[in-house]
Amino acid sequence: MPSEPQSVPFVSINDCLREDFLFRVLHRVLECLPTSSAPCSAALTRALAPIPVGGFRQFHRAPRGLQARAAMSQFRSSGVFVGRALEVWLEANRTLAAAVEEFLAKHEIPRERIRAEAGQFRDRWSLDEVLRLADLFCAEQGAADRDDVALLLCCLTSRAPVAVDRPAGTAAEVLSPDAAPSPAVASVGEDAPS
């Protein structure tokens, strides 16, 4: 019998995102925000305006890299901000998101996109399972970025990655462009451990 869903605040995603990957996600969000049709894009634009950026009076006048760096603190503390940013990021990655949705359907994994206004993921799943599925997707599809796929898996299922049986502080080392697959997770092209 499946267990009851356990909602998890959006800010919990920060436990599994390394700073360099979060920076890349926010940089992409800021790059796509002016043309975004995501329902929350106007609200995200308003939420960004008061964020201070050293050396600039207005957030939108700062270079994108400084904007992304400044927005990281808001991403770490506000579930609503996380939800809005991830919705814009989903839209910016719609081609890969469509492929991941097909993958989820093929593997009979229930889909439910995150909703910014909910402020939380509907449920949780093991970070190792997310990474196993991301590796499997990459093996089947080829050139996709493992970390983007892992984050898409979470956003398209509304499930938060939870580091189970990992020493404290190691989960954030996983979702990163430079991170190697954890020993408990199969690398692309390898068989998953039993």
Any domain includes 85: yes
Residues spanned by the domain of 51: 8-173
Q: Mean per-residue pLDDT for 35-46?
A: 87
d(CA 100, CA 6): 23
Any domain includes 192: no
Q: Assign 104 a pLDDT band (cuts: 50, 70, 90).
A: very high
Q: How much is the pLDDT for 144?
A: 85
What DSSP line would sit under 15-64, residue for residue? GGB-HHHHHHHHHHHHHHGGG---TTHHHHHHHHTTS-BTTBSSGGGS-H
For the chain, give percent helix, strand, coil, nearest 5. Answer: 55, 10, 35
Any domain includes 190: no
d(CA 154, CA 108): 15
**Residue 96: Cβ-neighbour burial (10 angstroms; 0-12, 13-18, 19+):** middle
Any domain includes 45: yes
Any domain includes 160: yes
Any domain includes 189: no
Residue 133: how many CB atoms within 10 A of its CB?
22
Is residue 193 over pLDDT 60? Answer: no
Q: Which residues contact 167 (CB under 8 A, 6 or more apart)?
A: none
Number of domains in the chain: 1
Q: Mean per-residue pLDDT for 110-117?
A: 92
For residues 189 and 136, the answer to whether their CB atoms sit within 8 Å is no
Any domain includes 16: yes
> Over the stretch 52-70, which tens digit does the pLDDT of each residue have?
999 999 999 999 999 999 9
Any domain includes 179: no
